[in-house]
A and B are shown apart, each in its own frame.
Chain A
Amino acid sequence: METKNIMIVGVGGQGTLLASKLLGRLLLGKGYDVKVSEVHGMSQRGGSVVTYVRWGDRVCSPIIDKGQADCVLSFELLEAARYTEYVKPGGRIIVNSQQINPMPVVAGAAIYPENLVEKMAGLGIQVDAFDALTLAEEAGSSKAVNLVLMGRLSKHFEFTTQEWMEAIEHSVPPKFLEMNQKAFALGQSA
């Protein structure tokens, strides 16, 4: 099988690491070779964060290079736009349409570009943009954006809901399990 590549991108503090942890666990359980690569450190302080998830028969490089991502899963709109170059021809971007202004925009030194969804689609990328934040709040917490996005992503996988639910159970604290499962379901049906 050809190696599959998903990039998870967002803003430091949005919970991207949980998403990659969950995916990694699920894929390992399915018997794939898996690599998940994160960048720690400075990224915690509201900076741009990237995680790579790769799986297949044999995965070598821990990173995804330009033009290789089957899918970019983005927690924020501008971050999706930042990584279009990584999407493979015909690839997909699943994006939470929420906008978080980076400091240069807040400080008035740059502007947040408009109509990003249309512009990304104009590159021949399949763009699936939706408001994951509202769904997360509906599930009980704005922090559940990651599970809403996982739910949305699951539509493009062959795994059963049962398998996803098991991975969720292993990746989130029991206290928040119900809320996270609800968030996942909302993302899945959105």
Chain B
Amino acid sequence: MKTLMLGNEAVARGLYEAGCCFVSSYPGTPSTEITECVAKYEEVYAEWAPNEKVALEAALGASLTGKRSFCAMKHVGLNVAADPLFTISYTGVNAGLVIGVADDAGMHSSQNEQDSRHYAKASKIPMLEPSDSAEALSFAKLAYELSEKFDTAVLIKMCTRVSHSQSVVETGERVVPEQKKYEKNPAKYIMMPVNAKRRHPEVEARTKALTEWAEQTDINRIEPGQDTSCGIITSSTCYQYVKEAFGDTYPVLKLGMIWPMPQQKIKDFAATVDRMVVVEELDGFIETHCKNLGLSVSGKDLFTNIGELSQNLVKEKLGGTVQTGTCLTEDIPARPPVMCAGCPHRSIFYVLKKLNLTVLGDIGCYTLGAVAPLGAIDTTVCMGASVSGLHGFVKAGGEEMEGRTVAVIGDSTFIHSGVTGLINIAYNESNATVIILDNSITGMTGHQQNPTTGYNLKGDPCTKIDLESLCHAVGIQRVRVVDPYDMDTCQTVIKEELAAKEPSVIISRRPCALLKYVKHPGPICSDPEKCKGCKACMNIGCPAISMVDGKAKIDATLCVGCGVCEQLCKFDALGAKE
């Protein structure tokens, strides 16, 4: 049947049709929907793991028992999973193991713009790169064939435009291959030096065999063009931009497998055209490969390695003319994302700013605490870095820093990689104050369950990690719980814990305002008689409050009645409906 599917949904469909039985992932835009979609198939076991490293290792375990398995993550997630990745390259697999990784050129929703293709080359694991949903589906199936044929994990590289675009796919039936037997095989699965030394040549031989395959396969295909003055090598969404810009004018070598790349096929292609150009986003990965083959080729001399490309850009750089539109001469104010009305994170940042603290931040909805008017965060690096960074900050900074520095970290992020930093704080005894923003969900990536919420990916109740006990167990004596909507108490507790001469954790607990089960009191009102127009309530950046004719006005369609703004008004102008 022909249907429209999101690239991520198509990968999920491909996994299903290939008989994948086990999926373990950690969410991350733009990869998240692969796992959410595959979880809808009853036949597939799917879970959210605490982080990407755990997810990949779990998927390896499932492959070893003989079932086809999968693991998805965003580009930066692959950094976290890189440790198992490089050695899984040596062990190989039993049943097929496929790893989905989604890059985010343009940083629509990421903290950096790394190019995951380097991981394929560095870890010597083959990587397929679909250019639309139909390929996402068929490559997912092909990945399992390759995985089992060549005894290797296989990476499928997605990107925002392929992951989050719907295009036409044709679905098929699910076929589950017979479960493979697990057999003890120390030489293959115990990677200690003596065995690893024997495995490494096997890895090199495998890459050679895969290169042969890359020469033959029709996923690396030459599409003829009438004008051989220029030949284009491309892959992924850039292939679509090239086709959009030039149709079948120029010959195109479309690479479906981006590692290892063919050699002879590229040389043969080069021989048929006057000039060869590589069109790829981010780094000159294909370009470097061509240059290593001794070919003369254009690439990053024409196209930027920053951000996304597009059809106009491709056309323009290759000498075509593009039609553009006109913009208004007027400045159009930006519309950045903001914390939702009633977001439990908002008030904590207000208090931290008021206390003029240095705040080591982390990644999640609460990163928005960095923007005006809250502007309360000093650093954001990667998941977990707030807690581990705080340890170094106060250890090296001494007493002066201890009393005025905190880390803030979300519940999902804390479990992902904050808890190891906390263990370091306890073990190496720094006087650090960590605030866990427990909104009982992984908000930023679209509300996924996590080990602290009491529900699993399929929505069933499950073991819930008790954060207080966890913090106690790693050696933190002082653990306090506050309600972020109660700003006075928050302020008192934060001050007390900063003053204490030992490490502490403050758990700020309130569910995310968007969760369906959360019952809100409903919108409050402003009293224009009482409002003096002092704008004190504007300092929390709630999108439901605006100043109209010098008076605070509450947007009743947005306000949930959290009551935080009321605590800022000295004139009693804001409050529940009478």
Contact = CB atoms under 8 A, between A and B. Distances in A.
A26 to B, nearest CB: 11
B377 to A, nearest CB: 16
B105 interface: no
B105 to A, nearest CB: 12
Nearest to A123: B326
Contacts of B336: 47, 102-104
Interface residues of B, number: 60
B337 A42 contact: yes
Contacts of B457: none
Contacts of A12: 337
A40 interface: yes
Given A39-B108, A78-B333, A85 B338 contact: no
A45 B365 contact: yes
Given A42-B109, A45-B365, A88-B325, A62 B167 contact: yes
A11 interface: yes
A105 B541 CA distance: 11
Contacts of A112: 333
Contacts of A25: 4
Interface in B322-355: 322-328, 330-340
A179 to B, nearest CB: 17
A86 to B, nearest CB: 6
A36 interface: yes
A123 B325 CA distance: 9
Contacts of A88: 323, 325
Contacts of A104: 333-334, 336
A84 B328 contact: yes
Interface in B529-558: 538, 541, 543, 545-547, 557
B4 A111 contact: no
A120 B326 CA distance: 10
Interface string A117-138: 0011001100000000000000
Nearest to A79: B335
Interface stretch (B224-232, B237-245, B272-280, B493-501): B237-245
Interface stretch (B52-60, B158-166, B384-392, B459-467): B158-166
Interface residues of A, number: 61
B29 A40 contact: yes
Contacts of B109: 40-42
Contacts of A69: 325
Contact of A81 (B162, B244, B332, B543): B332
B324 A63 contact: no
A151 interface: no
Interface stretch (A27-35, A153-161, A182-190): A27-35
Contacts of A68: 312, 323
A63 B310 contact: yes
A46 B164 contact: no
Contacts of B528: none
B435 interface: no
Listed residue (A34, A69, A105, A106) with the most chain B CB atoms within 10 angstroms of its CB: A106
28 contacts: A37-B161, A38-B164, A41-B29, A41-B445, A42-B337, A42-B444, A43-B108, A46-B338, A47-B337, A60-B311, A61-B241, A61-B311, A62-B132, A62-B161, A62-B162, A62-B240, A65-B310, A67-B312, A82-B335, A86-B325, A87-B325, A88-B325, A103-B335, A103-B371, A106-B541, A107-B373, A107-B538, A111-B333
Q: Which 10 A-B pairs have the closest CB atoms?
A: A41-B109, A47-B337, A62-B165, A45-B337, A110-B333, A102-B335, A61-B244, A41-B29, A67-B324, A60-B243
